[in-house]
């Protein structure tokens, strides 16, 4: 099973969403999870993982399925220097056992061209980085995801879910 994670922030809280799906070509989800965390750590430039990682780990505590791969909204490595990003910190926190693929909508300064993929008719790339899986395979997986537009449909769904109000 694959888990995609996204987050939406308010002034003093973060709502983390996770969707579980069976394969890269799945058009529907098997399950979803939602957790609101507050308070959250302050934003620190260059230290984004300090804010998100503890919250992602709390979301993972809710997940019942066996997860073979995690997709995050962001980077595994940052820039040409390949500085450790959120995805690398998550992989390490999971004892290097669950591969992590980062899918970013915006370029981080100095992101190597090899991280770029194009989907649908878009001329604006997505940026894919990975750990625990070869980059070429990670890019292929993201390119094969359901949906005909730049952003795969299930990644749009987890983004929308993170912005819903819990009842």
The answer to whether residue 123 scores a pLDDT higher than 50 is: yes
Higher pLDDT, 60 or 14: 60
What are the start-end ranges of the E strands in 66-167?
A: 69-73, 77-78, 83-84, 100-104, 116-117, 126-131
Per-residue pLDDT band for 83 (boundaries 50, 70, 90) equals confident
> Among 74-78, 83-87, 100-104, which range has the highest average pLDDT?
100-104
Token pair belonging to 155: 């990644």
**For the residues 115-144, what does the mean pLDDT come to?**
95
Boundaries of every domain in the chain: 2-162
d(CA 148, CA 11): 34
Q: What is residue 157's predicted lDDT score, i.e. its pLDDT?
A: 96
**Domain 2-162 class in CATH:** alpha beta
pTM higher than the cut 0.85: yes
């Amino acid at each position: 099973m694959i888990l995609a994670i996204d987050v939406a922030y308010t002034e003093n809280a973060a709502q983390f969403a996770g969707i579980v799906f069976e394969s890269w070509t799945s058009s529907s989800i098997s399950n979803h999870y939602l957790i609101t965390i507050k308070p959250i750590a302050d934003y620190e430039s260059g230290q984004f993982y300090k804010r998100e990682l503890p919250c992602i780990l709390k979301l993972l505590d809710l997940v019942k399925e066996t997860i073979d791969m995690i997709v995050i909204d962001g980077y595994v490595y940052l820039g040409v220097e390949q500085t450790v990003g959120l995805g690398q910190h998550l992989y390490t926190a999971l004892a290097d056992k669950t591969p992590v693929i980062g899918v970013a909508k915006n370029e981080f300064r100095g992101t190597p061209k090899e991280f770029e993929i194009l989907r649908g008719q878009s001329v604006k790339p997505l940026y894919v980085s990975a750990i625990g899986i070869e980059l070429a395979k990670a890019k292929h997986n993201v390119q094969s995801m359901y949906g005909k537009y730049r952003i795969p449909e299930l990644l749009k769904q987890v983004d929308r879910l993170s912005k819903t109000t819990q009842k």
